């Protein structure tokens, strides 16, 4: 495998990174979050999947993608022939950003500063695992790893970014599927396109 030439300090083990991330104060998001939600999966994963940030349920559980978006991701991964338990699942930002709205904690988009404050953890995960395939889901993860110019809906699919992983797949975030207000057909088409993108990561497109 080729090692990604990401510019992080000396390579640290996943368990060391996870322990250190518990106390992260690189940005203010820790103040309103229950806990740091680090990535999870096998250290030898062939595939890393990156989302935006933990949601309400992930913040409480301390695990990524266990809420509604996570259930949809699990289903889509299975349909694409991928076994989630063999992948490393993580987020660009590791604390839940929210504001109160009545009884619920309303999700807020992380800022550019918060994304870059959290980037060392993501790069640390990449360096420790150096996966063959990196799946980048949604604008926040794309911004973190591919910069501001990339547009998920325009550039989705296989991306040339050999400095981060031999194969990089850019796709939509599964939460966006939950927000589609259109017809059942529109929703189904968007979901199918997501599964098609994930299939690129399985090495069995088609
Ligand atoms: N959305 C994300 O981006 N990550 C999660 O872990 C859950 C929902």
CA of 53 to the centre of ligand 1 (A): 5
Domains of the chain: 14-202 (3.40.470.10)
Check if 51 has its Cβ closer than 6 Å to any atom of ligand 1.
Answer: yes
CA of 92 to the centre of ligand 1 (A): 9
Using most ligand atoms within 8 A of CB, pick from 56, 64, 84 the residue to mutate for ligand 1.
64
Say what the pTM is: 0.94
Check if 110 has its Cβ closer than 6 Å to any atom of ligand 1.
Answer: no
Check if 39 has its Cβ closer than 6 Å to any atom of ligand 1.
Answer: no
Between 3 and 168, name the one with better pLDDT.
168
- Give pLDDT tens digits for 78-113: 999 999 999 999 999 999 999 999 999 999 999 999
ipTM: 0.93
Ligand 1: which atom is nearest the Cα of residue 69? 8
CA of 11 to the centre of ligand 1 (A): 26
Check if 144 has its Cβ closer than 6 Å to any atom of ligand 1.
Answer: no
Give the pLDDT of residue 180.
95
Q: How far is CA 117 from CA 23, 59, 71, 144, 192, in A?
A: 13, 18, 28, 10, 34
Local confidence band at 12 (pLDDT 50, 70, 90 cut-offs): confident
Residue 72 has pLDDT above 90, yes or no: yes
CA of 94 to the centre of ligand 1 (A): 9
Check if 125 has its Cβ closer than 6 Å to any atom of ligand 1.
Answer: no
- Dihedral-angle region of residue 7 (phi above 0 means left; psi in -120 to 50 means alpha; beta otherwise): beta
Query: What average pLDDT does this structure show over 21-37?
Result: 98
């Amino acid at each position: 495998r080729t090692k990604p030439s990401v510019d992080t300090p000396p390579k640290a083990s996943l368990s060391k990174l996870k322990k250190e991330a518990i106390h992260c104060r690189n940005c203010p998001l820790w103040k309103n979050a229950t806990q740091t939600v680090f990535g999870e999966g096998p250290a030898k994963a062939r595939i890393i999947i990156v989302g935006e940030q933990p949601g309400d349920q992930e913040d409480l559980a301390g695990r990524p993608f266990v809420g509604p978006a996570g259930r949809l991701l699990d289903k889509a991964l299975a349909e694409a022939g991928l076994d989630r338990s063999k992948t490393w699942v993580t987020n660009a930002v590791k604390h839940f950003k929210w504001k109160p709205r009545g009884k619920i904690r309303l999700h807020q988009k992380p800022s550019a500063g918060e994304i870059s404050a959290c980037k060392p953890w993501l790069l640390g995960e990449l360096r420790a695992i150096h996966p063959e395939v990196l799946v980048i889901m949604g604008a926040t993860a794309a911004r973190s790893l591919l910069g501001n110019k990339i547009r998920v809906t325009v550039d989705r699919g296989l991306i040339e970014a050999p400095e981060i992983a031999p194969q990089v797949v850019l796709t939509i975030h599964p939460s966006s599927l939950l927000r589609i207000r259109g017809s059942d057909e529109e929703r189904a088409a968007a979901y199918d396109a997501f599964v098609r993108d994930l299939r690129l990561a399985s090495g069995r497109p088609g």
